[in-house]
Amino acid sequence: MSDHSWSPRSPGEALARFVGVPFDGQTYRNLAYLLLAFPLGIAYFTVVTTGLSTGLGLLVTLAGVPIVVGTLVVTIGIGSFERRLAEWLLDVDIDGAPSDVELAFGSAEEAVGTAKRILIAPTTWTGLLLVGLKFVYGIVAFTALVTAFAVAVSLLTLPVFYDAAGVTYTVGPYVVDTLREAVAGAGLGVLLVLVSLHVLNGVARFGGFLTGTLLGGEARTTEAADD
């Protein structure tokens, strides 16, 4: 995300940055991050809530303990994966993230020690919080993506379909029934695409910030980290 680490020094640079967002490869990595947030958020939430509810319900028996511990191990793994995903797609460094918990189950003593390390590890509980927030974040990101895409496509295709039989296009309270209006609507669509991409870039960066904060570190762009 190196292009987001500097501030434009003139109106011309600001305009170039605004218009150039579709030609920046980082924009599409940010979009990939947002697209993945929805299925990952659902998967994380389903696995963790199912594991915890099942394990806690069986705590009166010995069977519930390994289920709860196993679910918490998965939660720690989710946090580690999310950190790497932010680094890969968002091009950020997350400083200060704790190391993974050492896992050893070779004997009953090692298993008990592992369970204790899991319970006291900050990543266990921040990972649980991350799972819940990722679920909400994924829904918000998906909704924003779909809404922006649907509205932009509708506007951009106005010159092609505005006079199609049986089709009536409206932009707010206005009915589009002339080529001039359709071209104006397409121009509005181009502006909407540019604005939407900047907004979605911001949503993706917030996801990286959220991951870095919950994992005990600070999310920084790679360029900023190098400086």
Q: Report d(CA 154, CA 84) in Å as an integer.
A: 36
Give pLDDT, residue 3: 46
Give pLDDT, residue 165: 73
Domain assignment of residue 4, yes or no: no
Domain assignment of residue 3, yes or no: no
Residue 92 lies in domain: 12-226
Number of domains comprising the chain: 1
CB 196 within 8 A of CB 79: no
CB 179 within 8 A of CB 162: yes
Q: Which residues of the chain have pLDDT under 50?
A: 1-5, 223-225, 227
Give pLDDT, residue 140: 96
Domain assignment of residue 2, yes or no: no
Domain assignment of residue 53, yes or no: yes
CB 137 within 8 A of CB 207: yes
Give pLDDT, residue 167: 74
Domain assignment of residue 187, yes or no: yes
Domain assignment of residue 6, yes or no: no
Domain assignment of residue 82, yes or no: yes
Closest CA to 82 of 227, 195, 219: 219
